[in-house]
Structure 1
Amino acid sequence: MKFGKEFVSQMVPEWQEAYMDYNSLKLILKKVLRSRKKKASSTPMGTAEGSTLKRRVSLYRAFSGLTSRQRGSLRKKEDEEILVGEEGEEGQWQTRFLMPYDEGGEFEVAFFRSLDDEFNKVNCFYKKKVGEVVEEAEELSRQMDALIALRLKVDNPEVDIGGSDLASNGISSVSAVHPTSGRKTGGEDMDVINEVEMSDEEEMEDDEERGSKESETDDRKANRGTVDIQGFKPLQLEVLDHIRINVIPETPVSTIKSIFQQNYLSFSKNELRKVEEQMRQAFSEFYQKLRLLKSYCFLNQLAFSKIMKKYDKVCSRNASKVYLNMVDNSYLGSTDEVTRLVERVEATFIKHFANGNRRKGMKTLRPKARREKHRSTYFLGLLSGGSIALVVAIIVLMHARNILESDGRVLYMENIFPLYSLFGFVVLHLIMFSANIFFWRRYRVNYPFIFGFKQGSEIGYRQLFLLSSGIAILALAGVVSTLDMELDPRTKSFVALKELVPLGLVVVLLLIIFCPFNVIYRSSRYFLLLCLSHCLLAPLYKVTLPDFFLADQLTSQVQAFRSLEFYVCYYGWGDFKKRSHNCLDSHVFKSFYFVVAIIPYWIRSLQCVRRLIEEKDGMQGLNALKYFSTIVAVAMRTSYDLKAGMTSKILAIVSSVVATAVGTYWDIVIDWGLLQRNSKNPWLRDKLLVSNQSVYFVAMVLNVVLRLAWMQSVLGIRGVPFVHRTALTAIVACLEIIRRGIWNFFRLENEHLNNVGKYRAFKSVPLPFNYERDYTRSS
């Protein structure tokens, strides 16, 4: 793989604009090369041969280790090709091109101008991010002070706060300044991360070994330019007097506590366990941030090295040495703060959260990425092929037995078809979501970060498609067995068995979802159930993107919920052996028919209200009104379905038109961020992941058309020839699922681009303690 493609593949997606634009610099060098080739072709042959030979010799001199100059020798000023230095108050690096212009020289000047802009962009971004992690390290140090004090207080409840010196828990603080630039490279920002507690082994060291280590440390610090050294000082429990537990209303209990209780410390073991879990998450997220920042620094340095060597090769010059020396001496190449923070975070996490077990601690800090297994691909092909074969078998069986013309066709469509259609809705939704994951990966949408998946635990599109194929195999096999037992005279006596097949499949599906064992993607199933519980208990839980994203999926599965309701009625109240029921005549069934359709939209409206209260965002209030209009439309349409009438029809049409118009506008403008007038891409947005702009216009048209499909019941389309009413309802429900699948891709694309615009590549982890404003750590 060429470096340009490898460089792009290794980028942090949210920081993509902050990396060096390697491709644009390559384009400038291509212009230089084309201009030189054009000049060579226009000169006489002898001159061209001479210039070619000269270029070969210069390349040999520039890159051969045998003939290169000594590394430490100084070049004469008249031989220098470029001069790089800092200019301006902000310390921007600028390059001066000192050689006379040849053919294409203006492109060389443009190259160095663009190169300087890219380097200054990278250098400033890196400096800003390092400053942020240093501040975050200081806050983690303060949090660790409080955690250690809380541990001691919980383990020794009789210890008085504020009067105990912890000799065994000394803290070192070192402040160093870079000798050349005066830049601070370490210090009080990592008091606790440097060494929070003195280990038992350190206490057992003799004075001679300790003195020799201290002298070596002093010499190392002196060479580094140390200006301020503080010795070990005792950590005091009085810090507990100046902190409060940071209770974030994320659960029903914490929501109630935030209203009725103060955030005081109870010094209980349960409280300590929760605090330690929060600190583990904070350290893990902070460590990932440091790793990516370190990777950012390395990749950009490598990119500058590659582009300068390419410049030397194209232009037959030797300017890379001077420029790369500048890169090494700049903040990007010389600072070691990130490396030292990585080492100290590892040491602190292993000591305090892994009981000194390095393997265990590093396994938590560096979780392994999920590996694609060949057996997943094998079973995917096997099950998908089997499902296609079963579909063909059903079609052949229906044609051979002339089922469509049989007397029991209507009875089958009204009773058995709604039972099996549930699996069709689930399978179609899984297929659409697996396609979403495939395209998210293709266009580098960071969906694991957006959804908050634990690293290495996210499910891939192959696994999701494999799961949908397995469910399809079970459902289609059930359909074939039901038809075969019904039409074969030898199995007509198994009436109860063939009627119980759909119920058995539902039970199997529920057992898989709630299976507690580590099989069939347990982490993904647990994540789904967790988000589902948050949706059902809205607005008691803090609303996150996975929660409202799942609630949006539920709004497209209304017909599936009605199928589940029909299961209860068919097997609980009716005579399933005779395929008879009185569900539509039951007032209870009709009431739940209303409620089941409204619940998903009600959940979303409650989530919007919760976000409106917490975030003070007026758009969430408008979003809640949008879902309320949909609730009214669904209620009017359901009323018309159960009891047709002119008044009900008019109310259903009006409410459906309003809800469809509002929902379509919100999908395209708010959720997708399209239809922007002043965008550089007409009527789209400035940033697009899909290069073919027609895809967005097609998606917008499909969104409008598929949203209108749900109005078929209020526009008088009660049925079409050769299509039963229940089949038409299922088709409309499938169209809504397809619309939701299209919506999913562009919704997450817009979310990803918003994160890119804000360089937001990490989730914010709430810290457990909140310090008083007037309290500062004693130095």
Structure 2
Amino acid sequence: MKFGKEFASQMVQEWQTAYMDYNSLKNILKDIMRFRQRTQTAAPTPAGSSSSSSLKRRVSLYRAFSGLTNRYNNFRNSHHNDTFAAADDDDHVILVNAEEGSGPYQTKFMLSSEEGGQYEAVFFKRLDEEFNKVVKFYKDKVDEVMKDADNLTQQMDALIALRIKVDITPISIELSKVPAPAATGRRPGRMDIIEEVDQMDSEGGMVGKEQKKTNNSSSAGFRRSPIEVLDHVKMNVEAETPVSTMMKLLKSSNSDLNCTKGELRKVEDILRQAFAEFYKQLRLLKNYSFLNQMAFSKIMKKYDKITSRNASKAYLQMVDKSYLGSSDEVSKLIERVESTFIKHFSNGNRRKGMKTLKPQARREKHRTTFVMGLFVGCAIALLLAVIVIIQVKNILNSPGRQIYMDNIFPLYSFFGLIILHMLMYAGNLFFWRRYRVNYSFIFGFKPGTELGYRQVLLLASGLSLVTLAAVISNLEMEIDPRTKNFPGVTELVPLALLLLLLLITFCPFNILYHSSRFFLIKCAFHSFLAPLYKVTLPDFFLADQLTSQVQALRSLQFYICYYMWGDFRRRNSSTCLNHNVFKIFTIIVAVIPYWLRFLQCMRRLVEEKGKAHIFNGLKYFLTIVAITARTGNELKWGNIWLITAWASSIIVTILATYWDIVIDWGLLRIHSKNALLRDKLVIPHKTVYFVAIVLNMILRLAWMQSVMGIYNVPILHRQALIVVVACLEIIRRGIWNFFRLENEHLNNVGKYRAFKSVPLPFYYDQSTKHP
């Protein structure tokens, strides 16, 4: 793999604009190479000519005077004014200068008077711009992590003091407040913990400069006990639950530090996660420094090769002595974080601690691809078998066709809708990975547990295989003389399949992607209890998926009705479908996903105070009105429902289409660099975006079929038409998913968000000074 591709593949995508623009610099070198190829027949300047001697004399004017004694060198070093030049006597090419040793760095190309020298001067000018950009970004990020390190230091002070308070008896706490004697005698056994706290700095804890000075100055006299830190600290580690949310509405949260051991464990879990995220940030920053140094080395060596000069030595010497190459704060912090985490969160077990700090990425297994291919092949074979059975037995023209479509088809259509959604999600994962959209970070998946498109295709193909086998068994049992006398048994096949799916989904054992299954369950739980939980992106993203699965939810409603009313014994759902309770719940079930999104918008409005959430909530509220009116129209409740359905559906369709394209996708920007799109795009082909816009508009109109009264199509049964419309909505949602997450990813790129922030459990009282 060429370095350019390897460089792009290892970038932190959220920081990609802060990396050295390797491709643009390489394009300038290509211009230089093309110019040299056009002029390669020109005779070279003889060695020792007047131009060469004048060049040497001109370069000497820029060299620092070494002084008559070494005192001048000391003076120069004290002012950190670094000058680097190509030192080869036969080739004086560049002169690099940096004020105060940290930039801005300026490179003077000494051969600009030569023919074609303007190309090389442009190259070095652009090279300086890129290097100064990289150094500035790196320095800013290092300053940020140093501040975060100070915050984590204070958090550790409070945690250790809290451990002492919770784990040690009150008598020991009082003894801890007594100043330590000057003698070197050993303290009582219980006080070993406090002594360990005092020695934390020398054993790898993260301590800021000011705190080190304080510790050194206090070591000669009395040392403040860590337990007194709690006098200036408040804590809020109460897990967000529906009960805690309601309590916050009634009274302020409790920040008293009289916590139990269970609450102490919560504090430790939060800080463990905070350290893991901080360690990830440090590793990303270290990798950023390494990759950019490698890129500057590669581009300078490429320059030397094309121009046959020797400029890389001086320039890379400057890179090595710059803040990017010489700063060791990040490396030291990495060592201290490892030491602190292993000691305080892993009981000294380095393997366990490093496993948490450096989670292993999921490895693609050949057996996953093999089993997926096997399932896909078997599913295709079963699908062909279903078609053959239907044609051979002439089931579509049999008298029982209408009964089958009204009763059995809705049961199996549920699985078909779920499988289609999984296939669309697998396609999303494939293209997200191809275009380097950091979906794992955006969704907040635990590192090493996120599913790839192969795993999702494996699950989808496995469910397809089982579903088609159930369909065939149901058809065979219906026409088999030995079993058709027991229709009640044949009707239980779809129910058994549904129970199997639910059993696998909620299986508590660590099998079949346990982490991903419970992540899905947690997000669904938070969504269904909106607005009692804080709304995160996975929660409202899942709720949006549910709005496209209204027909699947209605199929679940039909399952309950069909089997609880006992209609499955006679394969006749008329009792269920004609019941008023079922009709009312038909509206309620369809409204539930949109109501959840409305509540989530209201929760975000209260917390974030954004006006956009008002309009988004209004959109979902109008959708609820439209669905209610459409369902009333389908149930023939009167003309008023038809008029309301028409008006509300048109308004919602226009509003939702605008929101999808402009707000969720960020497209149709008038003053964008890319006409009618947005400034940044991850797909190089702009046509794809316009096709997606048109498809979204067309598929948005699919749900209007119920308003327009299109219930019967000559070649399709009414139930089949409903499923086809539901499939079109799922396809639209799959397209929406890709561009919605692409826009979220680009927003993270614009703000350099490459890691999530963990709310820390302790906060210091601003009115008092931290001891």
TM-score (norm 1): 0.88
Query: Deviations for 1:555-608, whole angstroms, at most 9, x for unmatched residues?
Result: 000000100010111111033122112122111111111110001000001001
For 1:716 and 1:168, locate their aligned partners in 2 and report how far apart those are by CA, in whole Å.
77
Match of 1:596 in 2: 589
For 2:209 and 2:693, locate their aligned partners in 1 and report how far apart those are by CA, in whole Å.
51
Q: Report the 3-state secondary structure (helix = DSSP H, G, I; strand = E; otherwise coil) of the residue aligned with 1:770.
A: strand
Match of 2:228 in 1: 238
8 Å CA contact 1:169, 1:234 repeated in 2: no
Change (3 A) 1:161 1:314: farther
8 Å CA contact 1:85, 1:95 repeated in 2: yes
1:15-94 to structure 2, matched below 5 A, reads 15-40=15-40, 43=42, 47=43, 75=87, 79-87=91-99, 91-94=103-106
Match of 2:195 in 1: 167
8 Å CA contact 2:112, 2:120 repeated in 1: no
Q: State whether structure 2 residue 242 is matched by structure 1 residue 252.
A: yes
Change (3 A) 1:464 1:111: same
Q: What code does the residue aligned with 1:535 have? A: S
Q: What code does the residue aligned with 2:11 have? A: M
8 Å CA contact 1:431, 1:468 repeated in 2: yes
For 2:46 and 2:577, locate their aligned partners in 1 and report how far apart those are by CA, in whole Å.
95
Match of 2:435 in 1: 443
For 1:316 and 1:284, locate their aligned partners in 2 and report how far apart those are by CA, in whole Å.
47
Q: CA deviation at 1:104?
A: 2.5
1:317-716 to structure 2, matched below 5 A, reads 317-581=309-573, 582-643=575-636, 645-716=638-709
For 1:605 and 1:486, locate their aligned partners in 2 and report how far apart those are by CA, in whole Å.
45
Q: CA deviation at 1:649?
A: 1.2
Q: Report the 3-state secondary structure (helix = DSSP H, G, I; strand = E; otherwise coil) of the residue aligned with 1:500.
A: helix
Query: Deviations for 1:721-760, whole angstroms, at most 9, x for unmatched residues?
Result: 0211110000000100000000000000000000000000
For 2:379 and 2:476, locate their aligned partners in 1 and report how far apart those are by CA, in whole Å.
17
Pick one of 143, 156, 168 that aligns with 2:168: 156
Q: What code does the residue aligned with 1:648 have? A: W
Match of 2:79 in 1: none
Pick one of 144, 167, 170 that aligns with 1:132: 144
Q: What code does the residue aligned with 2:434 have? A: R
Change (3 A) 1:195 1:659: farther
Which of 641-650 and 532-541 deviates more?
641-650
Change (3 A) 1:76 1:48: closer
Q: What code does the residue aligned with 1:392 have? A: L
Q: State whether structure 2 residue 116 is matched by structure 1 residue 109.
A: no
8 Å CA contact 1:539, 1:606 repeated in 2: yes
Change (3 A) 1:248 1:3: farther
For 2:707 and 2:103, locate their aligned partners in 1 and report how far apart those are by CA, in whole Å.
68
For 2:339 and 2:722, locate their aligned partners in 1 and report how far apart those are by CA, in whole Å.
61
Q: Report the 3-state secondary structure (helix = DSSP H, G, I; strand = E; otherwise coil) of the residue aligned with 1:83.
A: strand
Pick one of 274, 290, 299 that aligns with 1:282: 274
Match of 1:761 in 2: 754
For 1:368 and 1:264, locate their aligned partners in 2 and report how far apart those are by CA, in whole Å.
38
Change (3 A) 1:29 1:230: farther
Change (3 A) 1:74 1:484: closer
For 1:74 and 1:684, locate their aligned partners in 2 and report how far apart those are by CA, in whole Å.
47
Match of 2:208 in 1: 188
Query: Deviations for 1:588-641, whole angstroms, at most 9, x for unmatched residues?
Result: 111111110001000001001001001111111111111001010011011111
Q: Report the 3-state secondary structure (helix = DSSP H, G, I; strand = E; otherwise coil) of the residue aligned with 1:339.
A: helix
For 1:230 and 1:438, locate their aligned partners in 2 and report how far apart those are by CA, in whole Å.
59
Q: CA deviation at 1:644?
A: 5.2
Change (3 A) 1:446 1:253: same
Q: CA deviation at 1:171?
A: 4.9
Q: What code does the residue aligned with 2:364 have? A: E
Q: What code does the residue aligned with 1:385 have? A: G
Q: What code does the residue aligned with 2:17 have? A: E
Q: Report the 3-state secondary structure (helix = DSSP H, G, I; strand = E; otherwise coil) of the residue aligned with 1:491.
A: coil
Q: State whether structure 2 residue 752 is matched by structure 1 residue 732.
A: no
Change (3 A) 1:190 1:754: farther
Q: Report the 3-state secondary structure (helix = DSSP H, G, I; strand = E; otherwise coil) of the residue aligned with 1:244.
A: strand
Query: Deviations for 1:61-104, whole angstroms, at most 9, x for unmatched residues?
Result: xxxxxxxxxxx999378852111112599831010011254343
Q: Report the 3-state secondary structure (helix = DSSP H, G, I; strand = E; otherwise coil) of the residue aligned with 2:197.
A: strand
Match of 1:202 in 2: none
> In the comparison of the two structures, how many residue pairs are matched?
711
Query: Deviations for 1:266-296, whole angstroms, at most 9, x for unmatched residues?
Result: 2311110110000000000000000010000
For 2:210 and 2:664, locate their aligned partners in 1 and report how far apart those are by CA, in whole Å.
42
Change (3 A) 1:265 1:708: same
For 2:196 and 2:451, locate their aligned partners in 1 and report how far apart those are by CA, in whole Å.
46
8 Å CA contact 1:640, 1:652 repeated in 2: yes
Gaps of 5+ in 2: 48-83, 180-193
Q: Report the 3-state secondary structure (helix = DSSP H, G, I; strand = E; otherwise coil) of the residue aligned with 1:723.
A: coil
**Aligned-pair Cα RMSD in Å:** 2.4
For 1:93 and 1:633, locate their aligned partners in 2 and report how far apart those are by CA, in whole Å.
63
Which of 522-531 and 384-393 deviates more?
384-393
8 Å CA contact 2:86, 2:310 repeated in 1: no
Q: What code does the residue aligned with 2:700 have? A: R
For 1:387 and 1:161, locate their aligned partners in 2 and report how far apart those are by CA, in whole Å.
73
8 Å CA contact 1:436, 1:745 repeated in 2: yes
Q: Report the 3-state secondary structure (helix = DSSP H, G, I; strand = E; otherwise coil) of the residue aligned with 2:568.
A: coil
8 Å CA contact 1:305, 1:324 repeated in 2: yes
Which of 481-490 and 662-671 deviates more?
481-490
Change (3 A) 1:454 1:321: same
8 Å CA contact 2:232, 2:769 repeated in 1: no
Q: Report the 3-state secondary structure (helix = DSSP H, G, I; strand = E; otherwise coil) of the residue aligned with 2:97.
A: strand
For 1:476 and 1:73, locate their aligned partners in 2 and report how far apart those are by CA, in whole Å.
74
Gaps of 5+ in 1: 52-71, 175-185, 197-227
TM-score (norm 2): 0.89
Q: CA deviation at 1:191?
A: 5.7
Match of 1:99 in 2: 111
Match of 1:771 in 2: 764
For 2:694 and 2:175, locate their aligned partners in 1 and report how far apart those are by CA, in whole Å.
67
Query: Deviations for 1:380-404, whole angstroms, at most 9, x for unmatched residues?
Result: 1010111111111111111111111
Q: What code does the residue aligned with 2:731 have? A: I
Q: CA deviation at 1:489?
A: 2.3
8 Å CA contact 1:548, 1:607 repeated in 2: yes
Query: Deviations for 1:175-230, whole angstroms, at most 9, x for unmatched residues?
Result: xxxxxxxxxxx9625969x999xxxxxxxxxxxxxxxxxxxxxxxxxxxxxxx988
For 2:116 and 2:603, locate their aligned partners in 1 and report how far apart those are by CA, in whole Å.
61
For 1:611 and 1:78, locate their aligned partners in 2 and report how far apart those are by CA, in whole Å.
68
For 1:250 and 1:379, locate their aligned partners in 2 and report how far apart those are by CA, in whole Å.
41
Q: What code does the residue aligned with 1:168 have? A: E
Change (3 A) 1:155 1:396: same
